[in-house]
Amino acid sequence: MQDVGECYSEEDDGMDAAERLINEHKLSRSECMELLARVDDAALAAKLAAEAVSLRWKYYGNKVYTRGLIEFTNYCKNDCYYCGIRHGNINAVRYRLSRDEILQCCEHGYELGFRTFVLQGGEDPWYTDERMEEIIRSIKTGWPDCALMLSIGEKSYDTYRRFREAGADRYLLRHETANEAHYCYLHPAGQTLRARKQCLYDLKALGYQVGAGFMVGSPGQTVECLADDLVFLQELRPEMVGIGPFIPHHDTRFAHEPAGSVALTLFLLSVIRLLLPKVLLPATTALGTADPRGREKGLMAGANVVMPNLSPVKNRKQYDLYDNKICTGEEAAECRGCLAQRVASVGCELVTERGDFCG
């Protein structure tokens, strides 16, 4: 933890950071630092979680939305140093799903009650704009009442426009870290925070519901980095925010780094719900990997989305972003059933709805 002593002055009107967050739904950078310095204060964490859950209740009731995640390719031209499917990992066993395989996932998912599909993958040039447009059109024609979310990395404005015109509704592109030096530490020189942010602003301009986000406890992350993340989220105002603990992958340079803290992730989920009250906030698979009840705890901290896996079981283990990823053995139906129970165990209900941003 850094010394935050100098940071109290900025808005010194008697209200502390937690009160400002709860009452005004905003935090300056120095207030973010002040709050993050108190992450071990269990009473504060419980207070923020209670406030976060009551806000979620106000806008979304007890509903938890599901997104059927279709991990359709693990080929990637990028080399994000933390990621198991980065280009340079020669041990990764690569696969691609055909259009028909993707459509089968949707068909099965629809029967199970999914009304949002997420196409996620590495940055795989095999899927040209034309091929992606064809896949997007087929999904939107086949299941017109469903939302389609893409999560396939950085593209040009023109490509994002084409995908939007083909019918894509949402786009998930975690910014990974809003701190310049930290971004450089996690990625090779060709990948820049500036380009990442530009993509997010382009997606917003094109009318996508946009998801940003970051890993908690990624190597080199400091409280300053997290403060930058919280400031950036307030500036971008995304409709979705995906956060989960960093988990090491054995074939990366960060293989021996510690995993991110579950407690800090939960704390940040509550803070993000309070900063962006209507945000769609997943209790992520990484959180469920780091803690057997991680996703339930995420819901109790203010999350309202879960993203079970709809990928063919034969490929699940190959989409190997980090070690020990959960839910790689079960059929999609089992995953949904299991999650429905988990969600119910914390007083929420897994619903069959698109779950659009309510703004």
Q: Which of 115, 155, 182, 249 lies at the binding interface for ligand SAH (CB under 6 A)? A: 249
Total of chain residues touching ligand SAH, rule CB under 6 A: 19
By beta-carbon proximity to ligand SAH, the closer residue of 78 and 104 is 78
By beta-carbon proximity to ligand SAH, the closer residue of 106 and 173 is 173
121, β-bridge pairs: 73
Q: Which of 120, 177, 191, 209 lies at the binding interface for ligand SAH (CB under 6 A)? A: 120
Q: Does 320 bind ligand SAH (CB under 6 A)?
A: no
Handedness of CA 167, 137, 85, 247 (dihedral sign): positive
Distance of CA 270 to the CA centre of its chain: 15
Considering the complex, what minimum distance in angstroms separates the CB of residue 223 from ligand SAH?
19
Q: Does 297 bind ligand SAH (CB under 6 A)?
A: no
Order of strands, sheet of 305-306, starting from the edge strand that comes earlier in the sequence: 305-306, 63-66, 349-350
Q: Which of 33, 83, 287, 300 lies at the binding interface for ligand SAH (CB under 6 A)? A: 83
Cα 202 to Cα 102, 156, 243, 284, distances in angstroms: 27, 9, 21, 25
Q: Does 257 bind ligand SAH (CB under 6 A)?
A: no
| Residues, the chain | 359
Considering the complex, what minimum distance in angstroms separates the CB of residue 224 from ligand SAH?
19
Residues 6 or more apart whose Cβ sits within 8 Å of residue 138:
99, 103
By beta-carbon proximity to ligand SAH, the closer residue of 215 and 226 is 215
Q: Does 148 bind ligand SAH (CB under 6 A)?
A: no
Considering the complex, what minimum distance in angstroms separates the CB of residue 71 from ligand SAH?
9
Q: How many CB atoms lie within 10 A of CB 329?
A: 10
Q: Does 89 bind ligand SAH (CB under 6 A)?
A: no
Q: Does 21 bind ligand SAH (CB under 6 A)?
A: no
Q: Where are the alpha helices (DSSP H) in the chain?
A: 17-24, 29-36, 42-60, 99-112, 129-142, 157-166, 180-186, 193-205, 223-236, 262-275, 285-290, 294-300, 313-316, 332-345
DSSP 261: P
Q: Does 72 bind ligand SAH (CB under 6 A)?
A: no
Q: What is the dihedral of CA 339, 345, 349, 352, to 10 degrees?
A: 20
Q: Does 150 bind ligand SAH (CB under 6 A)?
A: no
Q: How many CB atoms lie within 10 A of CB 128?
A: 11
By beta-carbon proximity to ligand SAH, the closer residue of 19 and 201 is 201
Q: Which two tokens stand for residue 129?
A: 């704009």
DSSP 321: S
CA distance 135 to 152: 13
Considering the complex, what minimum distance in angstroms separates the CB of residue 56 from ligand SAH?
23
Q: Which of 27, 212, 286, 332 lies at the binding interface for ligand SAH (CB under 6 A)? A: 286
Which residues from 175-194 bind ligand SAH, rule CB under 6 A? 176
Considering the complex, what minimum distance in angstroms separates the CB of residue 160 from ligand SAH?
13
CA distance 253 to 256: 8
Q: Which of 89, 151, 221, 270 lies at the binding interface for ligand SAH (CB under 6 A)? A: 151
Q: Which two tokens stand for residue 64?
A: 């938890």
Q: Does 153 bind ligand SAH (CB under 6 A)?
A: yes
By beta-carbon proximity to ligand SAH, the closer residue of 215 and 227 is 215
Which residues from 208-247 bind ligand SAH, rule CB under 6 A? 215, 244, 246-247
Q: Does 122 bind ligand SAH (CB under 6 A)?
A: yes
Q: Which residues bind ligand SAH (CB under 6 A)?
A: 82-83, 120, 122-123, 151-153, 173-174, 176, 215, 244, 246-247, 249, 286, 321-322
